[in-house]
């Protein structure tokens, strides 16, 4: 599933190719998705220009010139491409948005949990109301050790679930939460309430470092994720613990174990994480 670094890279790539482009036509091939796609046909999009693409958490907003935007979320398996519409439609491509440079924004999703819908943008650069409940962005100053410590007080449940809670901090999913807690030396099963301020500081620092590095490398490309141009991200090669159950810890040599937390598998090192 795309997490923040993947969404950031898709957003940057879309910003480059969509900004200034005018929509000439919209085609919808699959009306039945988690979020129905037919409204895209009725929204009167042709004639409007894209003014920029921005990311919030794992969402992207491709802003239009009339205080509206296209709100996107890639769910488990969403892929977007901007390419020649004459390339034959792939089986799970659901929408083509044709552009004035002769290319098309093509939206593919095998499991139909992605979102592509028209949203209102209250003013240029503002976020649509659909995103109002989201927590802080992890790469901004709002995400600090103090803030994370405060969020952990009175909180039931483990630290991994807190780190993956989008109402607290956005965009950190299973991959980056697993890597962050390993780097910070904190056991993912720890009750959030038992965290010490210095541990929260380490978690925040490591999360930022890992997310920045993953953005730099184009994301992780695990399973279905590809960048807009079809290339794969390189961060998967730097994952130290995610998906490595049964292997030796790269730091202490102990065998990496796995537990299920919040329905997700979580690898951890019993030697390095407390």
Q: Of how many residues is the chain composed? A: 274
Neighbours of 256 (CB within 10 A): 22
Measured CA to CA, the distance from residue 195 to residue 267 in angstroms comes to 19
> With binding defined as CB under 5 A, does residue 236 bind Zn ion?
no
Q: Which residue in 6, 25, 30 sits closest to 80, CA to CA?
A: 6
Contact region with Zn ion (CB under 5 A), list: 30-38, 50-58, 235-243, 244-252:
244-252
String of contacts with Zn ion for each residue 59-98, x by CB under 5 A: ----------------------------------------
- Output the CA angle 172-140-195, nearest 5 degrees: 60
Q: Which residues are bridge partners to 109 per DSSP?
A: 78
Q: How far is the CB of 179 from Zn ion (least distance, A)?
A: 13
Q: Which residues are bridge partners to 260 per DSSP?
A: 265
Contact region with Zn ion (CB under 5 A), list: 38-46, 49-57, 219-227, 250-258:
250-258
Query: Between the CA atoms of 222, 223, 227 and 229, what dihedral angle is there, to the nearest 10 degrees?
Result: 140
Catalytic position from the list 3, 63, 93, 199: 3
Q: Which residue in 116, 73, 72 sits closest to 94, CA to CA?
A: 116
> With binding defined as CB under 5 A, does residue 157 bind Zn ion?
no
> With binding defined as CB under 5 A, does residue 256 bind Zn ion?
no
Residue 2 falls in the annotated catalytic set:
yes
Kindly tell me which of 230 and 253 has the beta carbon lying closer to Zn ion.
Answer: 253
> With binding defined as CB under 5 A, does residue 267 bind Zn ion?
no
Within the chain, strands assigned E span: 23-28, 50-56, 59-64, 68-73, 78-83, 93-99, 104-109, 115-120, 257-261, 264-268
Instruction: Report the DSSP pairing between strands 93-99 and 23-28.
Output: antiparallel
String of contacts with Zn ion for each residue 159-178, x by CB under 5 A: --------------------
> With binding defined as CB under 5 A, does residue 251 bind Zn ion?
yes
> With binding defined as CB under 5 A, does residue 249 bind Zn ion?
yes
Q: How many residues interact with Zn ion (rule CB under 5 A)?
A: 6
Contact region with Zn ion (CB under 5 A), list: 92-100, 113-121, 226-234, 263-271:
263-271
Q: How far is the CB of 239 from Zn ion (least distance, A)?
A: 15
> With binding defined as CB under 5 A, does residue 272 bind Zn ion?
yes
Instruction: Report the DSSP pairing between strands 264-268 and 93-99.
Output: unpaired
Q: Using CB under 5 A, which of 247, 252, 255, 265 touches Zn ion?
A: 252
Tokens linked to 96 = 């083509």
Measured CA to CA, the distance from residue 175 to residue 236 in angstroms comes to 10
Q: How far is the CB of 253 from Zn ion (least distance, A)?
A: 7
Q: Which residues are catalytic?
A: 2-3
Residues of this chain that interact with Zn ion (CB under 5 A) are: 249, 251-252, 269, 271-272
């Amino acid at each position: 599933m795309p997490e923040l670094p993947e969404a950031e890279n898709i957003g940057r790539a879309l910003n480059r190719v969509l900004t200034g482009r005018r929509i000439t036509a919209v085609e919808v091939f699959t009306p039945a998705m988690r979020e129905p796609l037919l409204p895209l046909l009725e929204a009167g999009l042709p004639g409007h220009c894209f003014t920029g693409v921005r990311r919030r958490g794992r969402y992207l907003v491709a802003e239009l010139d009339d205080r509206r935007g296209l709100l996107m979320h890639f769910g488990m398996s969403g892929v977007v491409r901007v390419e020649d519409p004459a390339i034959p439609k792939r089986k799970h491509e659901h929408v083509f948005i044709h552009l004035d440079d002769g290319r098309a924004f093509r939206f593919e999703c095998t499991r139909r949990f992605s979102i592509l819908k028209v949203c209102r943008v209250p003013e240029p650069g503002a976020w649509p109301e659909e995103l109002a409940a989201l927590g802080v962005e992890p790469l901004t100053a709002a995400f600090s050790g103090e803030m994370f410590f405060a969020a952990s007080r009175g909180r039931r449940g483990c630290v991994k679930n807190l780190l993956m809670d989008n109402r607290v901090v956005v965009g950190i999913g299973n991959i980056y939460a697993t890597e962050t807690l390993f780097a910070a030396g904190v056991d993912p099963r720890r009750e959030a309430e038992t965290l010490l301020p210095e541990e929260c500081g380490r978690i925040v620092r490591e999360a930022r470092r890992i997310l920045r590095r993953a953005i730099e490398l184009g994301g992780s490309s695990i399973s279905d994720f590809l960048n807009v141009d079809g290339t794969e991200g390189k961060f998967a090669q730097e994952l130290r613990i995610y998906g490595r159950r049964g292997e030796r810890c790269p730091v202490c040599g102990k065998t990496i174990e796995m537990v299920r937390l919040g329905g997700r598998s979580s690898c951890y090192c019993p030697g390095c994480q407390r």
